[in-house]
Amino acid sequence: SLHTHDHVLKELELYSPFVSKGSYLVLPDTFIEFFPRGYYADRPWDVGNNPYTAMKKFMQDRDDFIIDRELSDKLLITESFDGYLKRVK
């Protein structure tokens, strides 16, 4: 997947209807938001334009998914910070 905000947001919007209650959408590479700006100089994504920002936008005003931090917390080290979205409705 292209890791830009718009591309990932579109993927979330298209795929989310297929996720059943109790199942997950998993967003890898949300860590990009927390790396130094310009770290991926040869890529179109960066701080402010990446899977994490798309996830935050996707989750605005939604009550059908929650961020399941319990999974992230168990892993201690993850590339998917806040990237485990559990369908609850």
Q: Which residues contact 67 (CB under 8 A, 6 or more apart)?
A: 55, 59, 82, 84, 85, 86
pLDDT of residue 76: 77
Confidence tier at 53 by pLDDT (50, 70, 90): very high
Q: What is the mean pLDDT of residues 32-58?
A: 97
**Please, what is the average pLDDT of the chain?**
95
What does the DSSP 8-state code read for residue 16?
G
Percent of the chain having pLDDT more than 70? 100
Global model pTM greater than 0.85: yes
Q: 81, 52 in Cβ contact below 8 A? A: yes
Please report which helix (H) or strand (E) contains residue 3, including its range. none
What's the total number of domains in the chain?
1
Q: What is the mean pLDDT of residues 56-85?
A: 92
**Host domain of residue 61:** 5-87
Q: What is the pLDDT of residues 3-41, one digit of tens each?
A: 999 999 999 999 999 999 999 999 999 999 999 999 999
